[in-house]
A and B are shown apart, each in its own frame.
Chain A
Amino acid sequence: MAYSSGRMLLSQSDGPVSRFRAWVFVVIPLLAILFQVYVPLFFPILSFLEMPLLVVVYLALTQRSQIGGLFTGALIGLAQDSLSKNPLGMFGICKTLVGYFAASVGVHFNVENTAIRMLLSFFFYFFHQFFYWVMQRMLLAQQPAFDYQSWLLFGALNAVVGASLFHFLDKLRATA
C-alpha cells in the first residue's frame, strides 16, 4: 500500500489499482454516523440499519490493510460510542475486530463480487451483534436478550442494503 499527496492508494493484487480520495475517509464515516443519529428520528423502521458497520466493512475490505482496517473500525466505533449512552469502547472494540477481520478477508480473497460482499456483510453484522452482546454481559454485567432471530433477519436486510451501498461507494474510487 502506498500513499500519495491528497490521495490514498489502494492496491489490488488481481484487479485494477484504485485510489480513494482522502476526504472519503472522513465524509463517508461522518455521513454514516449522521444517518444513524438522524434518520431513525423520522423513520424508526430504519433503525435496524448499522450504517457505521457497513462503512467499516467496506473500507476495510477495499483497503486490504489490516492496520488500516482496525483503526478505521476503532475510530468509527468510538465515535458511535460517544453518541450512545454506553461507556466508550463497546462499539469501538467490536468494530476494531470487524475492521481487522474484514481487511484480512480482503487480503486473501477477491471481494468485488456482490454475492460475496452480501455474505460478508451478513456475517460481520451477526458477529458484531453477538460480540456486543457478549461484552454487555461480561463487561457491563447487563442481561440483554439473545435475540438471534432478529440478528439473522436484520443481518440479511443489512446485507441487501450493504450491497447497494458498496456499489455506490465503488463509484468514489478512481481507477488508475
Chain B
Amino acid sequence: MTQPEVRGFNLATMTDAMLVRRVLEGDTAAFTTLVDRHAAACTRFAMRMLGNREDAEDATQETFLRAYRSLARYEERHTFRTWLFQILINRCRTAAVRRQRRHRMFLVDANALAEASVRPAAEASDIRAELQRAIDALDPEQREAFLLKHVEQLSYDEMAAATGIGVSALKMRVKRACDRMQWMLREGEASDVGT
C-alpha cells in the first residue's frame, strides 16, 4: 500500500517531536518553527544566567546550531525543550568559565565589572535592576537551579535530565537560592530605607 502524501501541513499545530521528524526528513522550515517557539525562553534564561544580552545571544545561537547538527540524537524520553535546555545549560556554563578566564587575563577590576554588568539599562525599572543584582549575586549553581525551577518552570525531573544533577541536590539548591534571594532583597530594602 502506498502511503498518502501529506500536503498543507500546519507547522504551527505540530508538536515539537513532529517538527523534529520533519526536519530529519528534509523539511528545514520546520526548524524555523522550533527556533521561534524556543528562542525567547532560551535567550531569557541565558541572559539571567550570564547577565548581558551579547553573551546570552551567543550562547543561544550556539545552542540551536548544536541542536540542529545533533537532531538525529534527540530522544523522546524528554521533551524537546528539556533537551534544548540541556545544551543551553552547558553553553552557559562554558560561557561563564570563558568569561572568567578573559577577565583574569586582562586584569580587569572584578568589582567594577560586576557593577557594570548589573547596572540597569536606562529604561529598566529599579525593581528589575534589583532583582538582576540579587540573581547575579547567587552562586552559579543556585542561580541555574532557581531560574530553571521558578522562571522556566521545569519540573524537578526535567531539571535533573537537563542538568545531570540529582533531584534532591536540585531541591536543596533551589531552597538555598530562595533563602538567599529573600535575604538579599530584604537587605536591599533596608539599605534603601537607610539612604
Q: Do A and B bind each other?
A: no
B contact set with A: CB distance below 8 Å = none
A interface list, Cβ under 8 A from B: none
